[in-house]
Structures are given as structure tokens and as C-alpha cells.
Structure 1
Amino acid sequence: MEPDAPRAPHVLDAAMFWSTHPTGGVRRVLSAKRQHLLAAGWQHSLLVPEGEGLGLIPCGGISLPRSGGYRFVVDRARAVSLITQARPDLIEAADPYVLGWASLEASQRLGVPAVAFCHSHLPALLERWASQLGGRWAGQWARERAQRYLVRLYGGFDLVLAPSRSLEHQLRHYGLDQVQYQPLGVDCGIFRPAARKGGWARWLKQALGLPPATRLLLYCGRFAPEKRLPLLARAVRALGPGHVLLCVGAGPCTPRGSQLRVLPPVSDPASLARMMASCDAFVHAGDQETFGLAALEAMACRTPVVLSSRAGLGELGADVALAVDSACPADWADAMRQALNEHEAPRLDRALARARTLDWSRVTDMMMRRYATLLNPAEAAQRCVPQERPSGQSASVAAYSFKRL
């Protein structure tokens, strides 16, 4: 009698930031991750506030006004119950709030590994918010409390993943030794230079009531204070007539300006890729980004990119993007002008090459190796070496098969 084939590993992602708009950064990351895990023969579930579809487990939450469709999860007990009922082999929390604690509690009940992915820099976000309300000392106080909170929460996880080296170093500085660098990815089969369509750009300008010669600069993402969209608006105004900033997204801080146009989120990846490849440049002034998913997609389209030199954007765009370490509109305008008028092929080629090293197929393979090590540390080395497998069995399942602990 032949032995039963190894059961495919079951990963459950718990994510509060799953917007009703299918364009939020966390949602796009988890959707791509799910697609690749399933293709590799793994099982995958998503615990989110709301949603319908195979693999989705809605846990409910309070609607956040002017957030772009997000909900805040408050019922920790229900989330724990739903996770334990799903009986995953590994749980990953995508945010450090109620679902973070629920993931940790459920992992302890089930006796399975718990992973935390640090998608946002909570100390920096709270510091900005508190500083605006109470000044510099209030901001410093909020940052220190947030650091202690993260140490208390993340200290219970088996593994903490950071999408940039800079964030990895910061978390280690807080005292978290189980942090590892795990970049995010891009689908280079969709986001590619060939996505550029000159006719589409002409049609868009006509639809927006713009002259054909208008230079379009693109921002794509959430409309939030930390994105510093007013800075981009002032910089485009400094460029003078004939330049327009196209802001695609949603959020509480809708940008405004005579040289701005706002469009809702684009749900279709191919349409988003066409937009990114056809605009004249991509710009992002966020100084608290942990990675920069939209910037990576623009790089994969070989579109000139102007980014903040700080945090994850600065790291992602090092030596391949025009970086600005300033809050002065004139400095941003100078960088935008250079991106529009000096199409340096070597820089664009380097950006494209970097993006291709972060194709989702490579990134998810790295994730699966990390998961496999957690699921069965004693056999991790053997599983990472290709071995003969029964015909019809997925290579990834054969490589990462394990016995439930």
C-alpha cells in the first residue's frame, strides 16, 4: 500500500487593511501572495473584516469614515475563534492591532507558528499624528510608547518580517531579534515596458480636458497625510503650465490643486500597468513608507521615478530613482523636471533590472522557504533541496511537505 501524499501546508493571513476597493497596498500584496501559494500547491485562507469569495473569512469591523473602505476589527474573541476553526498550519498577521493579538492567541491555542509582517511603521505614524496635535515632545512620547507596544506584541511571534533593510534594522534596534528582511514583489508579466500605450495617454488627456502636450506625473496610492500629497501639488505648480499631477487612489486627504486631477482606484492590474507605463513619470513623496509597492511597479514599467530618499522608498530607489531629501517644493520640482527632460537610459535600465529581481515568483519562493523552516525546522534543509517526487505532485508541496507538529 502506497503511503499517503503529504498534505499541503495551510497558511492563514489575518489582515485588517482589506479595503472594499481592490487596490489597497496590503490587499494587493496578499492577493498576489495567495495566487502564488495556490499555484505552488499550498492551501491559503484570508481573515479580513469583510468580503466574499473562496478562501475569505469575514470577521467584521467598525467602518472607518473617509478611509477608503477600511474597517477596524474590534472583536478579538471572534477573530480567534474563526482562526482556530480554520485550523491553519501557520498564521501571519498583517497589522499590529486587534488581529495581531488574535493571531498570536490563535497560534498558541493551535500550537502552530505565528508570523508578523510589518507593513506599516507604527512609531513613525503615531509620532507624526501626536506632533501635529501637541508638538515635538508629544510626538517623541508617542513614538516611544509605540515602540514599546510593538516589542510587547511582536516579541511573542516566531518570526517578524520587514519589507526593507532599514525597517529590519529599526525593529532589531528595538530589541526584536527574530526579524528578517522580506521584500514585496511585482508581477513583471503585467507591469512591463510593453504596457505603454501612447494612444491611451492621448485619450486620457482628452478625457481630463487637458491639451495633448501636457506632461502627466502620476501618484498612485492612499490619500493620507504621510504621503505628503500637498508637497507634490506645490511642486507641480512650480513646474508651471503644461504639467499635471494625476492622483489615483482614495483616502481621507483628497489632494486638491489647479494642476491636479483625481481618479478613483484602478482595480484591474493590466489597466494600472498601462497607466504607469504611459505617464511621463511616477512620483511619491512619502517619508514613512516601509517599501513602496506602486513605485516598484512603475520601475518595472521602465517609467522615470521620483521618490523620497527616506525610509523604504529611499532604499528601494537607491541608485535607480531620482531621490529627494527635502520638504521644499522647489527641490521636488527640480527632480521632476529632470525626470521629464533627461530620460537617462542607464538609470531606467537599472530600475527595470531591480524590479525584475523582485518578481512575485521569486519573492513568494523566499516566503515559502521561511514558512517551511518554521513548520518543520529539523527537516528544513532537506526540504529546500529539490528531490524526486511522485508524479503529479507539486514541486513546491514536495519540497515543503511536513508533519503537523
Structure 2
Amino acid sequence: MIALERETAAADRARSPSGRPTRLVDTTMLYAPRSGGVKRYLLAKRDWLAANRPGVRHNLVLPGRKDAHDGQGLWSIYTAPLPFGKGYRWPVSKTAWMERLVRRRPTLIEAGDPYTPGLAALRAGEALGVPVVGFCHTDLPALAALHLGEWAEEPVRRRWSRIYNQFDAVLAPSRFVAQRLQEAGVARAQPLTLGADVGLFRPDLADRAALRTRLGLPADHRLLVFAGRPAREKRIDVMVEAVERLDPGTTLLLVGAGEAAPPSERVIGLPYMQDSTSLARLLASCDGFLHANPDEPLGLIVLEALACGLPVVGVRSGGVAETVDSEVGELAEASEPAALAEAIDALFARDLTEVSRRARARAVARHSWDAVFENLMEVYAGLTGDPNFAGAVAAREMH
């Protein structure tokens, strides 16, 4: 009886101005067993809300192997897998997806893609009279040009613009993506740089000797690492060729992306790492993080590498260039083997201990999830007028 009374009291506190419980629903198809940044963002948001916004009930509506509910707010809808899609699934029916969203009775919906879930979110928002946020995690026109040819970029850009202009707010993970949206005609697009779990990804997890022993390498061997999907846009071949230009005492460790790499004695491949603590320990035990995608929307793994005190070598373009500079790494002028190799050599010529210290400090100061989600809650509160999205001080000011 006491437990029921507590539950009822908590439910009464979790009310929006409309009188309904405050419910945030996130939906996207960019969520799979081996997916990266979007999945980590959603799970980090879920944990943060539970700890910092007890008046908000968070639901995730995602594609899955069957219709199911985990009892803690994660609802999966049976969706057929994409052929060769690495675990991703493509929802077909906007109407069925919309109905599932409507059943959650949300105060606000955030859509993480402009595909079926995003379109269904717009329909659900219209049906319920609630705001819908579109979070643009990928640069679709650039991906279309890369995978289909330059002819595909403009028609995709027009559709991209048409869809995102329907959302009540449009967020992007970097100034780079926000600008791309604005150039496509989405004037309201605004950047909301994502973050890293700086309490989990940290330098003191490093065990350099153990990692090199595990990989069969000398104790003084230099290790560069990349962790991510084996996707074409990641430019795995460029990274491999760059490392082959370096002295033999340097190896590239590919985590989750080894199957996309050309054969090389300078490369070691490891499978995708589901456990974040194991990934953090591995990152912290390397000497530098390597990233070759010139059009990366953000590179959440880059933020996690910085949090581990890992200097980053990237390309002077895209979202990575907004995070990495000479204080925390090196930027190549182009995504080409020679330029990338030159940047790696420049990094190893520096005092890596000092660069590592600055990398960690940068991640803590600028990229903790606390700062990210407080900013996001301001957006939500502004759209809904709901004090449960605001912090305690801000909620008092709203009244």
C-alpha cells in the first residue's frame, strides 16, 4: 500500500501543464545491436533523465526482432532486417508506427531520422497537438552522393529540406551539419554538440603493457586506434595506407571496422565491442585515435577518445574539426594517406603526455553529458512550457 501511494504521488508530480504526465518519446531506426553514436546518445539521455529529471518519463520506440516492452520504457516494434544492414531494420508502415507513438501519449517527441519513424513522429505530433523535434544525426545528401553518385545529392537535399522544415525544432550534432541544413533551406537548424560519459571514459583505465601483450606487440610499440562501423564513408583504406607510410613500430588497431580494411601487416582487427568499459580501457591504452572521414557529422567516438586522454588525428573538415585542434591532436589538410601520415608524424613528435592531459581536460570542460542534456532540456521546455523539463531553478523562474 505504501509503495502504491509513493508511485501515485510520483505520478502526480510528473504532470505537464496539460494535466497529463510528462512523457518524452524518442524514436529512430538508427538503433541496432552494433550501432554507434545515436544509440549511445539515447541510452545516455535515458540514464541522465532518470537521475536528473524524475518528473519526466522517457520512452524509446525502436525497430526490433519482435513487438516487445522491456518494462522500463523501451518499446520495440517488429521490423524486417535490412539485407546486409549489419543489424539495422527498415520500418515500412508510417501509419502503424504513428499509432504506436500515439499510444505513448507523449508531451514531446524527438525523431532521430527523417525516415519512417521521423515521418510517423510528425503525424503523431499533429494528431496529438504536441511538438516534435527532429535531430539530424546524418548528412543524407553527402551519403547519397558517396554511395549513389553525385547525381543523387540534389534530389536528396530537396527531400531532406522538405522533411526537416516540418519539425518544430531541428537539432544537429555539430555546426557543420547545422550549416548543411541551413544551406539546404532549413533556416531554424541549430547545433547541439553531443557528449561523452567522462566518468566512464577516462585515462586511468589504461593498461598499455597488457594491451600490447594481448596483441603480440613489443612494449614500446605505438598503437593508433579507430573504432566504428566498417562503412565506406569512414575511409578505412585511407587510414591503412597512411599507417603503412609510417615507421614499422606503429600499428593501426581497428575495432569493429576490420572487415572493411585491405590486407596489411600493419593492421590488427578486433570485433565490435559491446561493453563500454572494455572499449574505454582499450582506448586509454593506445597512443592516438585516427579518423579519416572528412564529412563526419560529429564523431561521438572522438569525444570518448578525448575523454580517455587520447590525442586525435583527423581531417580539417566536418564535425571532427570543430572538436579537435592543435591542443588536443593534429588535423590533416585532406583525407589522403600522405596528409594523414604527415599529421600522425607531427603528433608523435610532440609531448604526448601534455597533449593527453589537454585532451582529457577538453572533454571534461566541453563535452560532459550533463552540459549537453541541460541545453537539450532548455529546448524541450521552450517548446512545451513544461516545468518538468526545466531544472529546479529554471522551473521556479517559469512560474
- Into which bin does the TM-score normalised by the smaller protein fall? 0.7 to 0.9
> What is the correspondence of 1:74-153 to structure 2 with a 5 Å cutoff?
74-131=92-149, 139=150, 141-153=151-163
Corresponding position of 1:257: 264
The whole-number CA distance in structure 1 between the counterparts of 2:262 and 2:37 is 19
**5+ residue gaps in structure 1?**
132-138, 388-397
Secondary structure of the structure 1 residue equivalent to 2:58: strand
Q: Deviations over 1:47-81 (max 9, x none)?
A: 11117622111123231233321112212221111
Equivalent residue for 1:317, pick from 324, 338, 345: 324
Corresponding position of 1:55: 73
Change (3 A) 1:328 1:20: closer
TM-score (norm 1): 0.86
Matched, 1:45 2:59: yes
Q: Deviations over 1:172-211 (max 9, x none)?
A: 222212212111011111112222223xxx3333333333
The whole-number CA distance in structure 2 between the counterparts of 1:216 and 1:174 is 40
Q: Is 2:227–2:257's contact at 8 Å kept on the other side of the alignment?
A: no
Change (3 A) 1:310 1:383: closer
Corresponding position of 2:335: 327
Comparing 227-236 with 168-177, greater Cα deviation is found at 168-177
Q: Which amino acid aligns with 1:340?
A: F
Deviation at 1:293, TM superposition (A): 0.6
Q: Is 1:383–1:399's contact at 8 Å kept on the other side of the alignment?
A: no
Corresponding position of 2:31: 18
> What is the correspondence of 1:196-207 to structure 2 with a 5 Å cutoff?
196-198=206-208, 202-207=209-214
Q: Which amino acid aligns with 2:179?
A: H
The whole-number CA distance in structure 2 between the counterparts of 1:255 and 1:118 is 31
Change (3 A) 1:205 1:352: closer
Number of residue pairs matched by the alignment? 377
Corresponding position of 2:4: none
Deviation at 1:346, TM superposition (A): 5.2
The whole-number CA distance in structure 2 between the counterparts of 1:117 and 1:35 is 19
Runs of 4+ residues over 4 Å off in structure 1: 344-347, 382-385, 398-402
Cα root mean square deviation, aligned: 2.6
Deviation at 1:274, TM superposition (A): 1.1
Comparing 206-215 with 182-191, greater Cα deviation is found at 206-215
Percent identity over paired residues:
38
The whole-number CA distance in structure 1 between the counterparts of 2:230 and 2:329 is 22
Change (3 A) 1:241 1:65: farther
Comparing 333-342 with 363-372, greater Cα deviation is found at 333-342
Deviation at 1:386, TM superposition (A): 1.0
The whole-number CA distance in structure 2 between the counterparts of 1:252 and 1:118 is 28
Matched, 1:369 2:378: yes
The whole-number CA distance in structure 1 between the counterparts of 2:258 and 2:125 is 33
Deviation at 1:314, TM superposition (A): 1.1
Deviation at 1:399, TM superposition (A): 5.9
Bigger RCO (CA 8 Å, 6+ sep):
1
